[in-house]
Structure 1
Amino acid sequence: MMDKILLAGFGGQGVMFIGKILAYAGMLDEQEICWIPSYGPEMRGGTANCSVIVSSAEIHSPVIEQADAGIVLNQPSYEAFLGRIRPGGALVVNSSIIDTSVKRRDDIELIEVPATDLAHDLGRPALANMVCLGALLPHLQLVDEASVSKAVQAVVGKKKPEMFDLNMKAVQQGLAGRS
């Protein structure tokens, strides 16, 4: 089994963070992983994307031509990465700030989640990335809420224990898909 995942948004939206969480989740579950970040030239506000492969077998290539699933956090990323999801795949979209009517595909599952609004309800609009991660989890084969919880604990839990709870509440909001 293998999950090929693309994540994209503006710098500062936490794209690399959710990529790292997915990679850690796979690693802690003793899966093979590949995490490749790609930054635009700007520090914040520029483009950022990463690819993550989680596999139960050896990964022979880190290149993802067509992803099984993805998350896009802004309009330019939606328009750029919509075509990179394989037919039958799933794309989570932050519908708080992305207009999907400009471009659509009928051969993928488009999961529109008002992530910024849900994160704002938690008191941390910056957690929109984690809300989207929660919405993505049911569409992955090798990463689930328990493995994400272990990864969040490993990455932020020891340094900022209060952020562990907030991050996991955001993931649960995404899993519930409620607005």
Structure 2
Amino acid sequence: MQSEVIFAGFGGQGVLFSGQILAFAGMDSGKEVAWMPSYGPEMRGGTANCTVVIADEEIGSPYVRNPQAAVIMNLPSLDKYESQIASGGALIVNASMVNREVQRTDLDVVMIPAQEIAESIGNRRLMNIVMLGALLQIKAILPLDERINVCDTCPIPRKTSNRCFRWWARRIWTHCFPAFPTTAAERSR
């Protein structure tokens, strides 16, 4: 099995970091992993995206034309990547920063008010983690126990930041998403 995901948004939204977390979680679960970042020279506000490929077997190339899933943090990224997602794939969109509906009907689309969720738990900067949590609920990229423990080996330079990140991520994923619909049939109810 091979899972391909694109994370896209503005610089400063944690797009590359979300991809890194998923890639490290894939490595920790014994999978083959490729993480390929792409970003402009701007520190914040420029475009940023990354591709993550997680597979049971060796990965031939990190380049992906039609990923099975995309985590979209802003409107320009939705405009760019909506047409590229494989039919039947998943599209997780930050509804806080996108002011239009997804046009394609052949995708599992979930609009997440990520900024509002992050603010409601006390830290707006964690909206990328909210989006990653939604992806992991919707797509079975990793086994359930790996999804819960994804933060345990996440590389963050400062120990206090690491401890804080783990606490927030567990809180988001266990409190916001346990009842979150995980299939297209459940979401249409």
> Same fold per TM (> 0.5)?
yes
* Cα separation, 2, equivalents of 1:142 and 1:50: 16
> Runs of 5+ in structure 1 lacking a partner?
none
Out of 164, 168, 171, which is 2:170 matched to? 168
What is the aligned partner in structure 1 of residue 53 from structure 2? 53
Counterparts of 1:14-93 in structure 2 under 5 Å?
A: 14-93=14-93
Contact 1:88 1:109 in 2 (8 A): yes
What is the aligned partner in structure 2 of residue 108 from structure 1? 107
* Cα separation, 2, equivalents of 1:92 and 1:146: 22
- Give the helix-richer structure, 1 or 2: 1
* Cα separation, 2, equivalents of 1:156 and 1:148: 16
* Cα separation, 2, equivalents of 1:176 and 1:44: 34
The number of residue pairs the alignment matches comes to: 177
The answer to whether residue 141 in structure 2 is matched with residue 139 in structure 1 is no
1:23-73 superposed Cα distances (whole Å, 9 cap, x missing partner):
011000000000000011211111100000000111112110000001011
Root mean square deviation of aligned Cα: 1.9
Contact 1:3 1:55 in 2 (8 A): yes
What is the aligned partner in structure 1 of residue 185 from structure 2? none
Q: Using a 3 Å threshold, how does the CA distance of structure 1 residues 175 and 89 change in structure 2: closer, same or farther?
A: farther
* Cα separation, 2, equivalents of 1:59 and 1:177: 31
* Cα separation, 1, equivalents of 2:123 and 2:43: 21
> Runs of 5+ in structure 2 lacking a partner?
182-189
Counterparts of 1:119-138 in structure 2 under 5 Å?
A: 119-138=118-137
Q: Cα offset for 1:20?
A: 0.5
Contact 2:90 2:139 in 1 (8 A): no
Q: Which amino acid aligns with 2:140?
A: Q
Q: Using a 3 Å threshold, how does the CA distance of structure 1 residues 176 and 77 change in structure 2: closer, same or farther?
A: farther
Q: Which amino acid aligns with 2:128?
A: N
Q: Cα offset for 1:84?
A: 1.6
Moved over 6 A (4+): none
- Give the strand-richer structure, 1 or 2: 1
1:92-125 superposed Cα distances (whole Å, 9 cap, x missing partner):
0011111233x51111111101110000001111
* Cα separation, 1, equivalents of 2:109 and 2:121: 24
Q: Secondary structure at the match of 1:106?
A: coil
Q: Using a 3 Å threshold, how does the CA distance of structure 1 residues 144 and 121 change in structure 2: closer, same or farther?
A: farther
Counterparts of 1:2-21 in structure 2 under 5 Å?
A: 2-21=2-21
Contact 2:94 2:113 in 1 (8 A): yes
Q: Cα offset for 1:171?
A: 2.9
Among the aligned pairs, what percent are the same residue? Answer: 37
* Cα separation, 2, equivalents of 1:174 and 1:79: 27
